[in-house]
A and B are shown apart, each in its own frame.
Chain A
Amino acid sequence: MEVTKLKAHEIHEMLKKGEISVRELTEAFLDRIDRIDDRIHAYITVTREKALEQADRVDAGIRSEGNTEVLAGIPMALKDNLCTKDIKTTCSSKILYNYKPPYSATVVEKLEEKGAVMLGKLNMDEFAMGSSTENSGFFTTRNPWDLERVPGGSSGGSAAAVAAGEAVYSLGSDTGGSIRQPAAFCGVVGLKPTYGRVSRYGLVAFASSLDQIGPITKDVRDCALVLKAIAGYDPMDSTSVNAPVPDYEKILDDNIKGLRVGIPKEYFGSGISSEVKDRVREAIDVLEGLGAICEETSLPHTEYALPVYYIIAPAEASSNLARYDGVQYGYRNMEVEDLISMYKTTRSEGFGPEVKRRIMLGTYALSSGYYDAYYLKALKVRTLIKQDFDRAFEKFDVLVTPTTPTTAFKIGERTKDLISMYMSDLLTVPANMAGIPAISVPCGLSNGLPVGMQIMAKPFAEDVLLKTAYAYECHRGFEITAPELEVF
């Protein structure tokens, strides 16, 4: 069996038994990237030398100290909005095309301490704004299931790399669905943790009150392993929460008897493809078969989540992205004579159209005279959405829905029609609004393309979420693996 198809916990067993060295493993992945990434286009930067150096270090650690960390030596990759010391971190934006941070994100440091081997940095929609990676300032990533289709976004590179065997796992970021939607499109597992569960320090901000970092993995067990490694309080992030981190992997079992599952009807509305609904209903049948009690419910303010998201996220983004002005780092237009022209040309040339659109939207929503009508109102509706979930979780342990209205769409299909593009986040945005954890697990195929089931739970109930997903995965009765690419 090719190692690039394996999961982290499987590779760990091989490493433990000495069946393979970390160097051989790392070389296998670098090899695979060399062979196929010119068709997937998941990577912006491949850190070959650093990866091999780290591999040798971990090999030495295994030999001398018997390093038993599960993630030690496992090759992974990071979305390019996670800061990596002295390694380019571009956010797929021309304005940061040459930017090398002087520090690493907290999650990166945590994984490095555990001996993770970083292969490189992954493509995304510019500053995480988008649902297809078509907004990348550099190139569009392809869906490994169908190279004519998008991998989803904004963490499209992260999902495609894992699905195509170019990394064992990856980290993405999720502001309105940016982990779960591409995970669904690429047939992998993607988790957005509770807001505050994982430190945001070193994640280049898009919308600070919504952003969370999370894992994209081949299965639920890996997801639990990676979450355990990156979760926890960080004194560098005041919004991270000081709550104990359970051993998410240890608590995994397939016993969900009596689990109360809510099925919010708003998530099965007219905009959702019937094939997607069918696959999710079949998955719900599996849960029921395992003894879960499934019942329809309602989250009445669901329809407002997307419009509210498109006020709050751009408002925060307009402020967060103000710092890209050419003064300290990144791209600067050097031709101009005065300060205002430097600002204008640098930002006009450095940002892509979607980023500019959202900066303008957000600037408008915060302007004096409009603040109350837009931003303040949006905050109030956000509270209503949160209350919907609070009420639902009095009755249910988890809520189950489709992750996306459709399967992966064709490249170019939605770039002209923004609303249809924005609609692909319809079902994922509410969890960000409420700050609750949500996971996407593959639940079958529709016309040869993966469908994702979304499971949501109350704040800090990642354990319940993972357990439910794990039980389903164990009993769904099929494996979902992207078709092997023909190697020319």
Chain B
Amino acid sequence: MVEYEAVIGLEVHAELKTKSKIFCSCSTEFGADPNTQVCPVCLGLPGTLPVLNKRVVEFAIKAALALNCKIAEYSKFDRKNYFYPDLPKNYQISQYDLPIAANGYLTINIDGKEKRIGITRLHMEEDAGKLIHSNDDISRADYSLVDFNRTGVPLIEIVSEPDIRTPEEARVYLEQLKAILQYTEVSDCKMQEGSLRCDANVSVRPKGSSKFGTKTELKNMNSFKALQKALEYEINRQIELLEKGIPVVQETRTWNEQKGITETLRSKEEAHDYRYFPEPDLVPLVIDREWVEEIRKSLPELPSERKNRLIRDYGLPEYDAEVITSSKALADFYDECVDIYDNPKEISNWVMGELLRLLNANNMEVEDSPIKPKDLVGLLELQKKGVISGKIAKQVFDEMFETGKDAETIVKEKDLVQISDVGELEEIVDRVMEANPKSVEDYRNGKERALKFLVGQIMKETKGKANPQLVNEILKKKL
């Protein structure tokens, strides 16, 4: 039986978070009312001309340098011609044969092994608008409306070499790319808002072969999970075809999330002829080397460097460091905590455990967390001082997340202060032992479990506030 391997290349679009659009001064803010962030230029009205936003070039160079690309000395824009109602000029200003950057790479970590994925090119272009279909579905729509707010929002497209071999590698590559774009602060990379989008080219071939198989292009994968699942499905589909002796058809396919399958979108024959030609309304770009070096110097610490720093300086396990540095916002959160509370491992436990659990459950980003670093540290300090127990701390954390109040307020309001008064605790212990003579006897007869039950009863009596260490001591003494 032939063993197959997949060959995968990714095309990633990231919206740059410049304040204004790529060719006009309209705001790029997400979520405004439809068609409130538009002007004659981004609406493509007759007679208007694009003027390049220099910040876009700066951001693109920054991203390209972080991806180890070579920055072109001479670059230009081209028109990509196709008709679609979300594209007001019916051409997109993009870059064709002279992109701003090329020949880079990105290193991913798979099962503890490093692998380098080549980056073919990185180029700048304008985003299109958004169609809103009546009845929420183009196939059932009576009419469609266009929102041009997104039209002209700057994008970079990053094309990888076909160096990716598994769906997992593809997901990790995308996660790593996202982290780099966030670290360099050029993009928010929010997949659910569409500021990070990914298409994949995939083919399969017998393992060991150096020839490429026929590829398909996959679109519409709106999450990391979707990317991995779509690739898994598509690779299996192609292998099954080949095993039946049916050739793979070169085409564009779309991922159907509900059905969990890829479906034909358009065949090779239906593919557009984009009729690229140099954009005559813009002058070619000559990139000043000094400017590139200035941008290089301004590059922040990148994910892999930061990971190594956390391991080196704080003694974190590699796994912890990897999780924490996967997102810049999370790593910033962590660093801010460590700055004011000197117990790196305890913080990493809380951040990776409680914080991520609640964020994921609520589908929230770290930036939106109602608990800020100083809030978490406030809680940890209460615990350290013995004001509250560890168990209560978790309860308080949930409460903080829900209400946005700080730990001290919640502890006061809910009267959660730990009972550490020996006299008071002795009284309670006596009461519980009196009420549970059987358990007392069981323990004395050597049943260790009975002790746990009694502690539990005491905790119940005190609503968890009893200092567990003291309770244990008192109980053992009395027994």
Interface residues of A (CB under 8 A from B): 81-83, 89, 91, 96, 99, 101-103, 105, 200-205, 207-209, 235-239, 315-316, 318-319, 322-323, 325, 327-329, 339, 343, 363, 366-368, 371, 375
Contacts and interface: CB of A to CB of B under 8 A. Distances in A.
A319 to B, nearest CB: 5
B372 to A, nearest CB: 42
B273 A367 contact: yes
A329 B52 CA distance: 25
A91 B47 CA distance: 11
What is the size category of the interface that chain B forms with chain A?
20 to 34
B40 A238 contact: no
B430 interface: no
B409 interface: no
A343 B88 CA distance: 13
25 contacts: A91-B46, A99-B46, A101-B47, A201-B47, A202-B48, A205-B47, A205-B281, A207-B280, A208-B280, A208-B281, A235-B51, A236-B51, A237-B51, A239-B281, A318-B275, A319-B275, A322-B91, A325-B83, A325-B90, A328-B43, A328-B45, A366-B277, A367-B273, A367-B275, A375-B277
B433 interface: no
Contacts of B146: 327-328
Contacts of A328: 43-45, 88, 146
Nearest to A339: B85
A81 B88 CA distance: 19
B283 interface: yes
A316 B278 CA distance: 9
B273 A368 contact: yes
Contacts of B44: 323, 328
Contact of B275 (A103, A205, A237, A366): A366
A96 B46 contact: yes
A102 B221 CA distance: 39
B404 interface: no
B45 A102 contact: yes
Contacts of B90: 322-323, 325
Contacts of B282: 238-239
A238 B51 contact: yes
A238 B52 contact: yes
B49 interface: yes
A49 B353 CA distance: 73
Contacts of B46: 83, 89, 91, 96, 99, 101, 204-205, 323
Interface of B: 40, 43-52, 79, 81, 83, 85, 88-91, 146, 273, 275-277, 280-283
A203 B277 contact: no
Contacts of A200: 49
Contacts of A204: 46-47
A466 B85 CA distance: 47
Query: Secondary structure at chain B's binding surface: helix, strand, loop or mixed?
Result: loop
Given A237-B51, A318-B275, A368-B273, 12 more contacts: A101-B40, A102-B40, A105-B47, A205-B281, A207-B280, A208-B280, A315-B277, A319-B275, A322-B81, A323-B89, A325-B90, A368-B275
Contacts of B40: 101-103
Contacts of B85: 325, 327, 339
A238 B283 contact: yes
A366 B81 contact: yes
Contacts of A319: 79, 81, 91, 275, 277
Contacts of B88: 323, 327-328
A315 B277 CA distance: 9
Contacts of A91: 46
A238 B83 contact: no
B48 A201 contact: yes
A202 B49 CA distance: 8
Residue of B45, B79, B88, B89 with highest tally of chain A CB at under 10 A: B45
B323 to A, nearest CB: 46
A316 B50 contact: no
Contacts of B273: 367-368
B147 to A, nearest CB: 12
Contacts of B45: 101-103, 328-329
A339 B49 CA distance: 27
B12 to A, nearest CB: 25
B45 to A, nearest CB: 7
Given A319-B275, A322-B83, A327-B85, A237 B49 contact: yes
Query: Nearest 6 CB-CB pairs, A to B?
Result: A322-B90, A208-B280, A366-B275, A209-B280, A204-B46, A202-B47
Given A96-B46, A101-B46, A322-B91, A316 B280 contact: yes
B130 to A, nearest CB: 14
A420 to B, nearest CB: 29
Contacts of A325: 83, 85, 90
Contact of A322 (B51, B89, B280): B89
Nearest to A347: B83
A318 B176 CA distance: 41
